[in-house]
Structure 1
Amino acid sequence: MTYSAADIPVWAAILIAFFLLAGAFLALLGAVGFLRLPTFYERIHAPTLSTSWGTGGIMTASILFFSISGGRLVAHELLIGIFITVTTPVTFMLLARAALHRDRVENHPDIPRRDGVTPGDDTTVN
């Protein structure tokens, strides 16, 4: 049975709205974390987690809406979820490694060197 967008059952509309709002809230949370956290390393953590889960919520809402309104399973959005799940951690790791390399080259005082010694630290490694 197919439905138009206006004829979706109330239970389905509530479920779709829940996933849509939860996904949007998580994406907003990542954006706020990106703006508010003090260091680059903390800043890239919040959007990485929230965009994955936020996209998952919005993707679930989309799957439910188009599956119910079309009367058949519509799962094209799963490809988007798979690509985001694969690419987000890789991007996070590449950005963090690039920033770590840059900070080590510039001898940033808070970043440990490869030998474990923090520049400016008076303690020695035994």
Structure 2
Amino acid sequence: MNMFIDVLTAICLLVGALMSLAAAIGLLRFPDLMSRMHAATKPQVLGLLLMLAAVGLQMRAWALLPILMIAWLFQLLTVPVSAHMVGRAGYRTKHRRPELLSVDELDQVVASVVEDDSNR
């Protein structure tokens, strides 16, 4: 049984590390802010979950489970909010590549707000 848990821990650590590596490579290789933002958030949250699961499996302590769950929950709640704010700031400061977007849903909204502000 101990060997099975050790193998499962190793698998979780390896896959979690690969997910974190994929996030880092995506940050370096992707061409624009929006795709970099996606690369920084999606695999990183799953990679952290797998790392925390590996820690929980290896420590084998029920008292550690709530702490690990809270750590992952805070990560799960804060990463999308921070990614949204970075994306919003990047859109407003024109750090985007419109030719890579298939649909720009905010273009009309921003244009109407700018138009309303100029009429005042």
Aligned position for 1:60 = 53
CA deviation vs aligned residue, 1:34-66 (integer Å, no higher than 9, x gap) = 111011111110110011000000010011111
**1:1-126 equivalences in 2 (<5 Å):** 9-67=2-60, 72-73=61-62, 74-75=64-65, 76-103=67-94, 110=98, 114-115=107-108
- Larger-Rg structure: 1
- TM-score (normalised: structure 1): 0.73
Structure 2 residue runs without a partner (length 5+): 112-120
What is the count of residue pairs matched by the alignment?
104
Query: Alpha-carbon deviation of 1:110?
Result: 2.7
TM normalised by structure 2 equals 0.77
In the alignment, which residue of structure 2 is the partner of 1:5? none
Aligned to 1:3: none
User: What do you get for the CA RMSD once the two structures are aligned?
Assistant: 2.5
The answer to which structure has the higher helix fraction is 2
Runs of 4+ in 1 over 4 A off after TM superposition: none
Q: Which residue of 1 aligns with 2:118?
A: none
Aligned to 2:114: none
SS, match of residue 15 in structure 1: helix
Alpha-carbon distance between aligned partners in 2 of 1:60 and 1:83, rounded to the nearest angstrom? 15
Distance, in Å, in 2 between the alignment partners of 1:84 and 1:109 is: 28
Over the matched positions of the two proteins, sequence identity in percent amounts to 25
Q: Which has the higher contact order (CA 8 A, sep 6+)?
A: 2
Cα displacement (A) at 1:115: 2.3
Unaligned 5+ residue runs, structure 1?
1-7, 119-126
